[in-house]
């Protein structure tokens, strides 16, 4: 971590996200705001960890829209700001983003959007390059951590010079790649983070009259940015051949390796676009005129391909253009895929030195290893208790967080999910359009992110469901980031700034109950009486199931384990514990269940559902 704030230039082996942090610091960023989301989270996390050394104000925002608006206001005062988010985060921020492009900024403002081809940890694989095109905002696309470092610096310069936010669009293979980065000098900026906001309401208050004028200015700015793109040093041409390849981002690396493997370095001419919005049309025209045919190599949508087809049509270029009919549109690319596409398009034969080992040598069915709720996770207890009272027949809309893992059998406590906060609003819709009882699950951080307007909406419209807020006092899945209602940060315990129970009461829920799910009997009684009330008097009910994430709690409280649980000789082998709790610490030995003492954290939930499970003191 020290490396991130070292003053000198040096060569480091850095994570893409760390390279982005370093570049922002060198660029004089004073304000960073983000809602965490894989693969972008390390940007805000590292910034947060070093905030005291750097004097940068770092805010974990309630959601991406809030982060973008806050950062925009800071930039509007001439102070450089950064906000980062995963690809779907930009959907949340899109309302702010589209019109911020009109209003522009005074100080440099960089938006990092981290796309996730192959959906390593996301619900979709949308291609956020179209956001730049839709908002007419300049976009840079790095291929390596070092390029991410250089491009963030350039993005700040472009932003400030042309008065527009800039996008740096990464993918998982940039954010979570490690590479050699040559960093420059960094000087901490001393003093308070204060700029100046010059009032100019007929420029900054976007009523239609102002918006119309800004729209025209936006198009004028676009023409200037087109010039920037034409001349950008990030548009790189390699080779002198007549087989043209146009690519961007991490796909460029696959192209380089594939071309080397195929031994066609002399035959190809590669255009690697680093600035992919605005599209450098003249540069593309010139490139096309020097090659006979073109293969466009890009992940996800045919974003470049469509632009190139337009340029070809405008310049009456008659060569063959190929893209998505050779390059897969779904999921990440890699060297073999790109090599095969090049080989097929130009009929270049390739004999690998070694054969890949065929998956057919493996046994037909290897046991899968899906991620799982941790031993002692309070979500497991809540799911058990809700299921005991409402059964499998109820409808369970869920949300985004660790608890989404409740999807997996035997818990099977998830029926519908589309995005952050959707549990609450879809529960309302389901309660209108079908007859099963509806119980929605949402995490504490996710509730604050996007659940509150939905809850108010359901109260307003007399929807009928139980909202279970799984409050583990942290944003666990993305790495334990704090949120306004959290009582723990990675640095220790804290008082929550906002109390979730007060919010839900103020939203008008019919009843709000709080349980500690680790107390099974008492929790079941509360849930059962909630069910009775819901039957008698339908409406929106809220249950806050509150117990801290044990992973984080153990780390910050450093509480030693005092007891673990053990199955004694009275076990009759009913394996109900496996079917109902499925704690990873359980294992089956013969017909009976045992508990792995190394994994058991002593939460006691299993002992409350089975008399044969007893505590053992640790010494």
Partner 1 sequence: MEREEMLRIFCVGVGGQGVLLATRLIGEAGLLAGISVSMSEVHGMAQRGGVVESAVVLGERSSAVLGEGEADVMLAFEPLEALRALPKCHSGSVAVTNTAPIPPFSVTQGGAAYPSIDTIVKIISREINRFYAIDALELALKAGSDQAVNVVLVGFLTSFMENLGKKIFPSKDLLLAALRRTVPSKIFDTNRLAFEFGYNEFRKLL
Q: Which residues here bind partner 1, judged by CB under 8 A?
A: 11-13, 38-39, 120-121, 144, 172-173, 176-180, 250, 252-254, 256-257, 260, 332, 334-337, 352-359, 361-363, 365-374, 402, 405, 477, 551, 575, 578, 582, 584, 586-588, 596
- C-beta of 366: minimal distance to partner 1 in Å? 6
- C-beta of 333: minimal distance to partner 1 in Å? 8
Measured from the CB atom, the residue of 418 and 575 that comes closer to partner 1 is 575
Distance, in Å, from the CA atom of 157 to the CA atom of 29, rounded to the nearest integer, reads 12
- C-beta of 359: minimal distance to partner 1 in Å? 5
* Sheet bearing 268-273, strands edge to edge: 236-238, 268-273, 243-248, 293-297, 320-322
Measured from the CB atom, the residue of 98 and 335 that comes closer to partner 1 is 335
Distance, in Å, from the CA atom of 378 to the CA atom of 276, rounded to the nearest integer, reads 46
- C-beta of 386: minimal distance to partner 1 in Å? 21
Measured from the CB atom, the residue of 121 and 519 that comes closer to partner 1 is 121
Angle 467-94-228 from CA coordinates, rounded to 5°: 155
Measured from the CB atom, the residue of 121 and 285 that comes closer to partner 1 is 121
Measured from the CB atom, the residue of 318 and 362 that comes closer to partner 1 is 362
Radius of gyration, alpha carbons of the chain: 27
Measured from the CB atom, the residue of 440 and 581 that comes closer to partner 1 is 581
Work out the burial of residue 243: count CB atoms within 10 Å of its CB; fewer than 13 is exposed, 13-18 middle, 19 or more buried.
buried
Measured from the CB atom, the residue of 3 and 185 that comes closer to partner 1 is 3
Distance, in Å, from the CA atom of 3 to the CA atom of 238, rounded to the nearest integer, reads 33
| Both structure tokens of 543 | 């249950």
* Sheet bearing 439-443, strands edge to edge: 439-443, 465-471, 540-546, 511-515
Measured from the CB atom, the residue of 86 and 483 that comes closer to partner 1 is 86
78: alpha, beta or left, given left = phi > 0 and alpha = psi -120 to 50? Answer: left
- C-beta of 14: minimal distance to partner 1 in Å? 10
- C-beta of 182: minimal distance to partner 1 in Å? 11
Say if CB 578 and CB 532 are below 8 A apart: no
- C-beta of 398: minimal distance to partner 1 in Å? 16
Beta strands, E only, 255-319: 268-273, 275-277, 293-297
Which 3 state secondary structure label does DSSP give 325?
A: coil
Distance, in Å, from the CA atom of 586 to the CA atom of 578, rounded to the nearest integer, reads 7
- C-beta of 190: minimal distance to partner 1 in Å? 30
Q: What is the DSSP letter of 448?
A: I
Measured from the CB atom, the residue of 477 and 607 that comes closer to partner 1 is 477
Measured from the CB atom, the residue of 257 and 525 that comes closer to partner 1 is 257
- C-beta of 364: minimal distance to partner 1 in Å? 11
- C-beta of 363: minimal distance to partner 1 in Å? 6
| Both structure tokens of 162 | 């042309």
Length of the chain: 619
Distance, in Å, from the CA atom of 118 to the CA atom of 600, rounded to the nearest integer, reads 34
Angle 448-473-602 from CA coordinates, rounded to 5°: 150
């Amino acid at each position: 971590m020290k490396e991130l704030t070292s003053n000198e230039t040096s060569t480091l082996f850095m994570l893409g996200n760390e390279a982005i942090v370093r570049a922002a610091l060198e660029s004089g960023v004073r304000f960073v705001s983000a809602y965490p989301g894989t693969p972008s989270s390390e940007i805000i996390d590292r910034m947060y960890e070093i905030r005291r050394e750097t004097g940068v104000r770092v805010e974990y925002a309630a959601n991406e829209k809030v982060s973008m608006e806050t950062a925009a206001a800071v930039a509007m005062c001439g102070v450089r700001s950064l906000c980062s988010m995963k690809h779907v985060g930009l959907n949340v921020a899109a309302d702010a983003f589209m019109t911020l492009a009109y209003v522009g900024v005074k100080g440099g403002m960089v938006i990092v959007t981290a796309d996730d081809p192959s959906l390593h940890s996301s619900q979709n694989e949308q291609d956020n390059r179209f956001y730049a095109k839709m908002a007419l905002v300049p976009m840079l696309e790095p291929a390596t951590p070092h390029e991410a470092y250089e491009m963030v610096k350039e993005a700040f310069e472009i932003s400030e010079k042309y008065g527009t936010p800039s996008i740096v669009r990464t993918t998982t293979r940039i954010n979570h790649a490690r590479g050699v980065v040559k960093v420059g000098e960094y000087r901490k900026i001393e003093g308070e983070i204060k700029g100046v906001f010059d009032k100019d309401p007929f420029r900054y208050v976007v009523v239609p009259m102002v918006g119309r004028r800004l729209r025209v200015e936006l198009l004028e700015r676009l023409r200037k940015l087109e010039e920037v793109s034409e001349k950008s040093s990030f548009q790189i041409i390699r080779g002198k051949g007549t087989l043209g390849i146009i690519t961007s981002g991490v796909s460029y690396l696959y192209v380089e390796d594939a071309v080397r493997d195929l031994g066609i370095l002399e035959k190809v001419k590669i255009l690697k676009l680093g600035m992919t919005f605005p599209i450098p049309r003249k540069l593309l025209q010139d490139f096309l005129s020097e090659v006979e045919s073109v293969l466009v190599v890009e992940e996800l949508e045919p974003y470049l391909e469509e632009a190139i087809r337009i340029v070809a049509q405008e310049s009456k270029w008659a060569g063959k253009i190929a893209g998505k009919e050779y390059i897969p549109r779904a999921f990440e690319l890699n060297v073999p895929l790109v090599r095969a596409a090049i080989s097929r398009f130009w009929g270049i034969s390739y004999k690998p030195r070694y054969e890949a080992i065929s998956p057919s040598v493996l046994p037909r069915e290897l046991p899968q290893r899906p991620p799982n709720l941790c031993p002692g996770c309070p979500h497991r207890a809540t799911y058990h208790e809700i299921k005991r009272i409402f059964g499998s027949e109820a409808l369970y809309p869920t949300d985004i967080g660790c608890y989404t893992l409740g999807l997996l059998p035997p818990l099977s406590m998830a029926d519908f999910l589309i995005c952050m906060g959707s549990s609450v609003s879809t529960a309302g819709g389901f309660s209108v359009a079908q007859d099963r009882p509806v119980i929605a699950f949402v995490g504490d951080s996710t509730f604050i992110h996007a659940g509150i307007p939905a809850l108010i909406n359901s109260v307003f419209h007399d929807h009928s469901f139980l909202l279970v807020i799984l409050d583990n006092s942290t944003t666990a899945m993305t790495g334990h980031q704090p949120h306004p209602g959290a009582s723990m940060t990675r640095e220790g315990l804290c008082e929550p700034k906002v109390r979730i129970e007060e919010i839900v009461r103020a939203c008008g829920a019919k009843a709000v109950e709080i349980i500690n799910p680790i107390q099974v009997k008492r929790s079941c009684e509360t849930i059962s009486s909630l069910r009775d009330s819901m039957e008698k008097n339908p409406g929106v009910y809220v249950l806050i199931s509150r117990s801290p994430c044990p992973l984080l709690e153990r780390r910050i409280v450093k509480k030693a384990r005092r007891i673990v649980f053990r199955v004694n000789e009275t076990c009759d082998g009913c394996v109900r514990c496996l079917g109902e709790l499925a704690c990873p610490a359980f294992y089956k030995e013969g017909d009976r269940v045992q508990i792995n003492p190394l994994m058991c954290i002593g939460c006691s939930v299993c002992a409350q559902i089975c008399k044969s499970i007893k505590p053992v003191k640790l010494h």
